[in-house]
Amino acid sequence: MPLRRTDGVILRTYPFRETSKIVVLYSLHFGKLRLVAKGARRPKSIFGGSLEPITHVKALFYHREGRDLHTLSQADIVYSFQGIKEDLGLLGYASAACEVVLRWTPGEAPSPLLFRALLGALREMERKGKGETLLWWFELRAAEILGHRPELGRCVFCGGPLKGTPLAFSPASGGILCPSCASGEEFSLSQGAARLLARLQALPADRAATLSASGRTGEQIRSVLRAFLAYHTEERELRALDFLHKVGEV
């Protein structure tokens, strides 16, 4: 079995057999990897604290050709995002970003762009203390990288300008509809919400972090993006966001 090396972000871990863990790593060179960390649940495991979700690691693993479970040999922490882990709200949004990657990406298909976008979103969340706006930014970026870029600058149906009200968002059509095409659509959008979505799509993470949405605008963006993701991943709601609702962070 060849030994491989890659950078990656730990998306999640779960117990495996008596003393081991399965680590799901979003890696730079291989995409989403499932790795067995043998003995990782023993008190004196060689992996120490390196296998927490939302940790950037350099991983060394035995690659089993044609299998979807490989063996982790070593994981060295590059960056632990401690500032995120110590803040319940940020932790929820960062977990939601990891969940987007977990659910939306196919198995082992590398995307350096998506890897960098995830790291960029996490870095800005920690630096600016802004969770939700950066989750929105990341969801739009991930959609684009994975080939599902929503049309937010003009009507996705007729190509006309997004003038007047009510605008609407159609998850199935993949974008915003102008007032003439919007009839019967479930997700109405104000001009402000439509403009904010378009800006989030156009800006890099550090600039997106300076944007914010209040009240009604935030609610509209939240429900549009939830529906858009649900449409593509066939999941009702990101579990991490469900958790934030329950603890009253959203």
Q: Nearest Cα to 189, choosing from 159, 155, 157, 143?
A: 155
Instruction: Give CA torsion, residues 117, 122, 127, 132, to 10 deg.
Output: 100
Is residue 226 a contact partner of residue 237, using CB atoms and an 8 Å limit?
yes
- In the complex with Zn ion, the residue whose CB is nearer, 92 or 150, is 150
Binding span for Zn ion by CB under 5 A among 61-69, 100-108, 162-170, 174-182: 174-182
Applying CB under 5 A, the span of 101-109, 112-120, 180-188, 242-250 interacting with Zn ion comes to 180-188
Query: Binding of Zn ion at residue 48 (CB under 5 A)?
Result: no
Identified binder of Zn ion from the candidate list 160, 161, 164, 204, rule CB under 5 A: 160
Q: Which of 121, 155, 205, 229 binds Zn ion (CB under 5 A)?
A: 155
156 touching Zn ion, by CB under 5 A = no
For the chain, the maximum distance between any two Cα atoms, rounded to a whole number of angstroms, is 65
Q: Find out whether 101 and 28 touch, Cβ atoms under 8 Å.
A: no
Q: 102 with 53: CB under 8 angstroms?
A: no
- C-beta of 169: minimal distance to Zn ion in Å? 12
Member of 157, 173, 195, 206 binding Zn ion (CB under 5 A): 157
SS3 content of the chain, % helix, strand, coil (to 5): 40, 25, 40
Based on the shown chain and the rule CB under 5 A, indicate whether residue 229 belongs to the binding site for Zn ion. no
Using CB under 5 A, which of the segments 59-67, 113-121, 170-178, 227-235 binds Zn ion? 170-178
Residues 6+ apart with CB under 8 A from 46: 39, 74
Across the beta sheet with 187-189, the strand order is 175-177, 167-170, 187-189
Binding flag, residue 181, Zn ion (CB under 5 A): yes
Based on the shown chain and the rule CB under 5 A, indicate whether residue 9 belongs to the binding site for Zn ion.
no
CB of 177 to Zn ion, least distance (A): 6
- Applying CB under 5 A, among 1, 69, 113, 158 the residue interacting with Zn ion is 158
Cα separation, 243 vs 61, in Å, equals: 32
Complex with Zn ion: residue 48 or 164, whichever CB lies closer: 164
Binding-site ranges for Zn ion (CB under 5 A): 155, 157-158, 160, 178, 181
